[in-house]
């Protein structure tokens, strides 16, 4: 009973206070309520000019050297990625002067007898620009940057003389590899006699590819596109898994399992294909391409097959590079005003 009386007294005392909700307190940031804001001495200064001054001061740092830049890059980003950057300038562009890669007037299958041997047409220099020259002269800024950066890193590691010796060694190895392949593929009816070349890691690397090759039609043979005005020296034209291809043999010290890792090699292949299909020295038509990347350590080579659809896509890119090269040559030949 006593607790009940205590509760009743508390309830009577609460009735003395209003139960209506009190209005919410409001706050304002208005200068009128908070008092006059103290003026900042920098308000009278040109803010844009002051911002530029701050940026210029803060941007000044210690003098950088190639060695320090490479060290910072390695710490921040790791090893240099050599994946090809997207060609933003060519996205959405189409060649102004379209020319087909395939020749409707020619048969797909060659009718050259095996006894006549593969074609080996000599290259006529200075007749027209080569495919290699055109691609080198029209590399994207990203390609030029990574190529120059790779060269600088190699020079820092090997020195000028060491780098020159390294490039010479790479060239000789590639030449020996191509000579060995030419010797092997010339024996069309007997590709088993390759034991003498197996000491070469590159030849060992392509053994499983050679088993799929037959019907060799051309080896180290020149091509000329009379309509588009360029020449080239292709490695091989033969059947790979029953399909006639322009075959390009490449060497590499690093794995290249994807066709994107081969940079401009697909453009080189389709340039040779288009020339073969319109060169009077060749009576057949090629509709496919093959890039074979061989490795010095003898590990299995990576074959990158290019079907008709893929070749057509790369052909459009090749025509753009060809137009870019032609435009550069015109601009260089125009005399500059005094």
In the chain, alpha helices (H):
2-14, 31-34, 47-59, 66-77, 131-137, 141-185, 201-205, 207-210, 265-278, 308-333
Q: Are 103 and 331 in contact (CB under 8 A)?
A: no
Q: CA-to-CA distance for 108 and 159, rounded, in angstroms?
A: 51
Adjacent-strand bridge partners of 130: 231
**319, two tokens:** 């025509």
Using alpha carbons, select from 315, 331, 333 the residue that is nearest to residue 99.
315
3-state secondary structure 109-168: CCCCCHHHCCECCCCCCCCCCEHHHHHHHCCCHHHHHHHHHHHHHHHHHHHHHHHHHHHH
Q: Are 238 and 286 in contact (CB under 8 A)?
A: no
**329, two tokens:** 């040559």
Which residues are known to be catalytic? Answer: 235, 248, 250
**235, two tokens:** 């490695």
Q: CA-to-CA distance for 301 and 201, rounded, in angstroms?
A: 10
Beta strand 230-240 with 288-295 is: unpaired
Q: Are 238 and 289 in contact (CB under 8 A)?
A: no
Element (H, E) at 221: strand 213-225
């Amino acid at each position: 009973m006593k607790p009940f009386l205590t509760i009743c007294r508390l309830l009577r005392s609460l009735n003395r206070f209003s139960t209506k909700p009190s209005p919410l307190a409001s706050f304002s940031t208005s200068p009128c309520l908070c008092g006059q804001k103290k003026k900042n001495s920098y308000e009278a200064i040109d803010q844009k000019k002051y911002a530029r001054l701050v940026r210029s001061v803060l941007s000044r740092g210690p003098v950088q050297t190639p060695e320090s830049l490479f060290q910072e890059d390695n710490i921040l980003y790791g090893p240099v990625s050599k994946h090809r950057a997207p060609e933003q300038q060519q996205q959405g562009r189409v060649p102004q002067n379209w020319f087909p890669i395939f020749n409707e007037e020619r048969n797909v299958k060659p009718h050259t007898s095996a006894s006549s041997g593969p074609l080996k047409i000599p290259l006529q220099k200075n007749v027209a620009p080569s495919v290699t020259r055109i691609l080198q002269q029209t590399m994207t800024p990203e390609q030029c940057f990574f190529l120059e950066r790779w060269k600088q890193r190699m020079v820092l590691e090997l020195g000028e003389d060491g780098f020159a010796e390294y490039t010479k060694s790479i060239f000789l190895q590639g030449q020996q590899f191509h000579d060995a392949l030419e010797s092997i593929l010339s024996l069309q009816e007997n590709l088993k006699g390759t034991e003498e070349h197996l000491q070469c890691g590159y030849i060992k690397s392509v053994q499983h590819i050679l088993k799929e090759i037959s019907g060799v039609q051309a080896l180290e043979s020149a091509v000329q596109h009379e309509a588009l005005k360029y020449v080239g020296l292709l490695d091989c034209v033969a059947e790979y898994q029953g399909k006639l291809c322009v075959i390009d043999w490449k060497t590499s010290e690093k794995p290249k399992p994807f066709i994107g890792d081969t940079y401009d090699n697909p453009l080189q292949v389709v340039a040779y294909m288009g020339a073969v299909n319109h060169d009077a020295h060749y009576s057949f038509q090629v509709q496919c391409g093959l890039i074979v990347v061989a490795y010095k350590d003898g590990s299995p080579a990576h074959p990158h097959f290019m079907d008709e659809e893929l070749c057509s896509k790369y052909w459009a890119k090749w025509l753009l590079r060809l137009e870019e090269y032609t435009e550069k040559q015109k601009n260089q030949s125009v005399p500059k005003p005094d």
